[in-house]
Amino acid sequence: MMKRYLHTVLAAGCVSLLMLASCKKDETKLVADPANAKGGTLAASASTLVLTKATETTTAVTFTVTQPSFGYPAAPTNTLQLDVSGDNFAAPKEVVLAAKAGSVVYTGLDFNALALSLNMKTGVAAPMQVRVKSQISTAVAPVYSNVVTVTVTPYPLISYVYVPGAYQGWNPATADSLKSATGNGVYTGIINFVGTDLTYKITTAKNWNTAYGDAGSGAVSTTASSNLTAPAVGNTQLVLDENKNTLTMKAYQISIIGDGALGWDAGDDIDMTFNNGTQTWSGTATLKASGSIKFRLNHAWDTSYGGANGVASTTAGNIAIPADGKYLVTFSEATLTYTLTKQ
């Protein structure tokens, strides 16, 4: 009887062990494999783009993307990186792609804006490098696609806003302008405010249909009724950012100074006039070959430019005068060039 009982107990134990064994399930973990992660692939529909205003609404280029591999199914963030050739993506322009997007399409206008944002010269063919950065988290290093090179010739995309105010009779049709060289919504210019009334507004055209007023704390709005006010009489640099609806203002005067003109002392500056259309400063001065000159900002030495052979620099020496006489002098901070034209 005891033997039979033991047999029954042993049998039951075996059944229990079998049940435990059959119920146990190994846990499967999905773990990224950074060592074997691979970037996706990138292809461009064109390798050479000559962009023009006439074709700005048509498709210029399509980039086709395949997804990267991190060793398990993942939803990476893919970012298109664009940079000029030779910069090695040190500070690329980045465009985050839609989730699982297989392609991205650019019109001529949009891709031209990207090229200009990389400071590519208009009318000049130059290589642009493009790749895709893919990342699943900040804890895992990103992977990159192959690099595609596209030769791009951008065109100028210039837009303007206007600054009517008391300084010129509140007439938008004749008001000076602020300029956006790339059409990116950021407008810069220098306005010479005169008189005792320094109020003004900024219009998007040479009329009063749409005008920016003062919304307070450096903000502007097309619904604000209050006028904007310059900080002081004289040349003032205005920077309007339509993307952020902000406006910054600061005094900005370039002058000629040196013993090739009136001298190096305070009060010897010869103020120049700014042209918002050409983005250049100009002025006439009687110059002496026995001396030299520099250009400086706001009658101070914090920012000054010397130069030689028409090329200006903040690190260059004084500018030599070729001969005594009256000169038309021009200077461009945008291109760091100057001219001395004898009259």
What are the sequence ranges of the domains in the chain? 34-153, 159-251, 254-342
Closest residue by Cα to residue 157 from 204, 116, 191: 116
- Return the pLDDT at 140: 82
Q: Could you report how far apart the first and last alpha carbons of the chain are, in Å?
A: 133
Task: Give residue 116's pLDDT.
Answer: 86
pLDDT of residue 298: 97
**φ, ψ at 127 (rounded to 5°):** -80, 140
Tokens of 124: 């000049």
Would you state the pLDDT for residue 143?
A: 93
Tell me which long-range contacts 85-88 makes (C-beta under 8 A, separation of at least 24). Answer: 85/126, 85/127, 85/128, 85/129, 85/149, 87/129
**CB atoms inside a 10 Å sphere around CB 238:** 23
pLDDT of residue 70: 82
Q: Name the CA dihedral angle for 86, 89, 90, 96, rounded to a multiple of 10 degrees.
A: 150
Fold category of 34-153 in CATH: Immunoglobulin-like (2.60.40)
Tokens (6 digits) for 335: 């291109």
Token digits for 1?
A: 């009887």
Residue type, 64: T
HSE value, Cβ hemisphere, 13 Å, CA-based, for 39: 17
3-state DSSP of 67-83 = CCECCCCCCCEEEEEEE
d(CA 280, CA 329): 10
H helices of 84-203, in order, are 108-117
Residue by residue, pLDDT tens for the chain (343 residues) are 444 443 444 444 444 434 444 444 455 455 556 667 888 899 999 999 999 988 999 999 999 999 898 877 778 889 999 999 988 999 899 999 988 889 999 999 999 989 988 989 889 999 999 999 998 888 888 999 999 999 999 998 888 999 999 999 999 999 999 999 777 789 999 999 999 999 999 999 999 999 999 999 999 999 999 999 999 999 999 999 999 999 999 999 999 999 999 999 999 999 999 998 888 999 999 999 999 999 999 999 999 999 999 999 999 999 999 999 999 999 999 999 999 999 9
pLDDT of residue 33: 60
**pLDDT at residue number 19:** 43
Q: Report whether 44 contacts 84 (CB < 8 A).
A: no
The whole-number pLDDT of residue 320 equals 98
Domains 34-153 and 159-251 are alike in CATH topology: yes
Domain 254-342 has CATH 2.60.40.3620: yes
Q: What is the DSSP letter of 172?
A: G
Pairing mode, strands 246-251 and 199-200: unpaired
Query: Could you tell me where the beta strands, DSSP code E, fall in 56-153?
Result: 59-65, 77-84, 93-96, 103-107, 126-135, 143-144, 148-153
The string of pLDDT tens digits covering residues 27-80 is 545 555 666 788 889 999 999 999 998 899 999 999 999 989 887 777 888 999
Q: Which fold has domain 159-251?
A: Immunoglobulin-like (2.60.40)
